[in-house]
Amino acid sequence: MKYKITQNWLALISCLLISSSSIAAASVEVFEIEGLISPASPKALTTQLVEKLDVKIVNLNLKDTDTGWPQLSIEFDSGALSRSDIENAISGIEDPAGHMYKVHQGPSLTRAPYNKEELDAMAKFGPAAPNLTDVSNPLGASDESVGRGLKLFKANCSTCHGLSGNGQGPGAHGIATFPRELWAWNNAPASTDAYLYWFITNGRNEMPPWGLILSENERWDVINYIKTIEKPE
């Protein structure tokens, strides 16, 4: 009887040791992610990461972070995987937009210099930049159009441009050229319409061609709203 009790205790202690070892191997680390630039980006990254590695996604914080970078918290077996293994797996995953994710390792590239085309279009809000088709706003900047533009901006543009138009949206930290501060266009005259319409329609760098997504009138609604954005005091 005493022998059986001793065996039971040994078995229990062995189970506890195994369980304790498993718990000790579980680790949670936070990774700052570059490349979350579209609504489909977070799901694509987390789904493929779980498929590639035996990890658990604890949290994906897109907005409320100290650094401004999206933060992905991952639980993994530190006995089987290292942080470097996870970073390499992340950099091997392709976003639906066709670029690769990566773990952020340095400061954000804010305030990138304006290029000549932007300077030409913005200087004194004069004539549109060269080689742009002259267009005119068919809607007019009515309150109704601005209201529609606000809804479209929040749904489609704020991820990168920020809700205030400051270019510091959660997705902006993962792209090479930071979005501009949109209040530069506040109350801009009609002479800037060709540039804004062309840019929104065709995209540039990591900005997608919204002409494939938004109708012509929706693009004008967005332009009408952008022209109301004021610089925060």
pLDDT score of 23: 45
52-58's contacts with Cβ under 8 Å and 24+ in sequence apart are: 52/89, 52/92, 52/93, 53/81, 53/85, 53/86, 53/89, 54/80, 54/81, 55/81, 55/86, 58/28
Read off the tokens for 1: 């009887």
Name beta bridge partners: 73: 30, 59
Chain-centroid distance of CA 54 in Å reads 25
> Which residue bears the tokens 């109708």?
215
pLDDT at position 233, please? 73
Query: Is 145 in a helix, a strand, or coil?
Result: helix
Task: Say whether 154 sits in a helix, a strand or coil.
Answer: helix
Contacts by residues 124-133 (CB-CB < 8 Å, ≥ 24 positions apart)? 125/188, 125/189, 125/191, 125/192, 126/191, 127/191, 128/191, 128/192, 128/193, 128/194, 128/195, 129/194, 129/195, 132/194, 132/195, 132/198, 133/194, 133/198
Domain with CATH 3.30.70 in the chain: 24-103
pLDDT tens per residue, range 46-101: 999 999 998 999 998 876 666 667 889 999 999 899 999 999 999 999 877 677 88
Cβ pair 215, 156 in contact under 8 A: no
Q: What is the pLDDT, as a whole number, of residue 211?
A: 86
List, in sequence order, every residue forming a beta bridge with 155; answer none if it has no partner.
none
Q: How far apart are CA 109 and CA 125, in angstroms?
A: 26
- Looking at the domain that runs over 116-226, which CATH code has it been given? 1.10.760.10
Question: What's the pLDDT at 120?
Answer: 58
Q: Answer for the pair 226, 153: CB distance below 8 angstroms, yes or no.
A: yes
pLDDT value, residue 62: 76
Domain with CATH 1.10.760.10 in the chain: 116-226
CA distance 33 to 62: 10
Q: Find, among 122, 110, 230, 79, the residue nearest to 175 by Cα.
A: 110
Spatial distance between the Cα atoms of 208 and 99, rounded to a whole number of angstroms:
12
- Residue 206 is predicted with a pLDDT of 73
Q: What is the pTM of this model?
A: 0.49
Q: In a 3-state reduction of DSSP, which class is residue 202?
A: helix
Residue segments in the chain with a per-residue pLDDT below the cut of 50:
1-2, 17-23, 109-111, 124-130
Q: What is the pLDDT of residue 21?
A: 45
Topology of domain 24-103 in CATH is: Alpha-Beta Plaits (3.30.70)
Map tokens 């601005």 to a residue. Answer: 146
